[in-house]
Amino acid sequence: LITAAAWPGHPEFIRQFVAALGGTVRGVAGKKVLVLCGDYMEDYEVMVPFQALLSYGYGVDAVCPGKKAGDKCRTAIHDFEGDQTYSEKPGHNFALNADFAAASAAGYDGLVIPGGRAPEYLALDDKVLSLVRDFVAAGKPIASVCHGQQILAAADVLRGKRCTAYPAVGPACRSVGATWVNPDPIDLAVTDGALITAAAWPGHPEFIRQFVAALGGTVRGVAGKKVLVLCGDYMEDYEVMVPFQALLSYGYGVDAVCPGKKAGDKCRTAIHDFEGDQTYSEKPGHNFALNADFAAASAAGYDGLVIPGGRAPEYLALDDKVLSLVRDFVAAGKPIASVCHGQQILAAADVLRGKRCTAYPAVGPACRSVGATWVNPDPIDLAVTDG
């Protein structure tokens, strides 16, 4: 059993779950990655690679011109909701952990450039462009997604390189001499030497996998293993997508299911963040696409289970089929990784008795009431393994 208190604990939560599944990562020790941030970068396109790379064991610093460690960047939710182009909604507030002024290519082994709207103004910053050119000159891997390639084009480092990007960025790439790779399918990622590009956040699993390979990392013990993710409407946005895409990047098969829904259906997600109130705020998140049918899911078909938090668990905990599925994973001795409010489901299934666990603090009474040994989530990025 692996539990975490909230989405800040994803890196350790995912690392412990991979270990419980028998996976190992090699070639990452001592290596550091820089993430180039800006206001209104796409929410998934910064947090998924940031937390996924931390879970592999890399040191990861996130910086933004004009800001310092502890400052925050606003993010944007870009999604397709039936209009001719993507919609935009406010995302999480992303906390930086290093100073841009101190960042140099010499101090890192690779660079990640998220997309969203930030690149259109970061591409005007000479210090940003100089930093990118320094990574290229040093032959260090650069991974850029979606609109991030606007920065690469402005830095004039795409000449003669095969690359993809969000389709609207294609003309900018071609105009500076890139060999354009049409992003079909949209989850495409392309490697040319030390350059890894992807068209949009659906391509994160392959994008991250190729970047890790370029950094010399390898993953073992995942072949043929499958993970089930138990979804519901208004699950927390990060708490479903980060483990979903991170585990895919490791090489696991990952199926996402929801009671009453089928493959191709979507679940609404919620953004839970702390913005100065006494409890978390909630904003609409991305629409998460399921890729398997709940009716066909069984513990026998998977090696592990992931339960995201958010508001979904409070109603999923009332579903007897959900509780039976959880108990089947426990009876089979297969790893379960549950985060934040997900432990409401574990409590309802009565599988926490005698187990050390943590959760979002408000879920603590429910965990203790069914005989769990409560681990106070201090710090909030804590993750706990029992068994």
- From the list 267, 340, 357, 367, the catalytic residue is 340
Dist. CA 287–CA 62, nearest whole Å: 26
173 is catalytic: no
Q: Alpha carbon of 70 to those of 96, 118, 242, 272, 385: distances in Å?
A: 5, 19, 22, 19, 29
Dist. CA 372–CA 382, nearest whole Å: 17
- From the list 37, 146, 231, 357, the catalytic residue is 146
- Region of residue 78 (phi > 0: left; psi between -120 and 50: alpha; otherwise: beta): beta
Q: Kind of pairing, strands 383-385 and 2-4? A: antiparallel
341 is catalytic: yes
- Region of residue 215 (phi > 0: left; psi between -120 and 50: alpha; otherwise: beta): alpha
Q: What is the dihedral of CA 29, 57, 375, 341, to 10 degrees?
A: 180
- From the list 258, 341, 357, 367, the catalytic residue is 341
* Encoded amino acid at 276, one letter: G
- From the list 147, 204, 272, 286, the catalytic residue is 147
147 is catalytic: yes
47 φ/ψ angles, rounded to the nearest 5 degrees: -75, -35
10 is catalytic: no
In this structure, what DSSP letter does residue 352 have?
-
Q: What are the residue numbers of the active site?
A: 146-147, 340-341
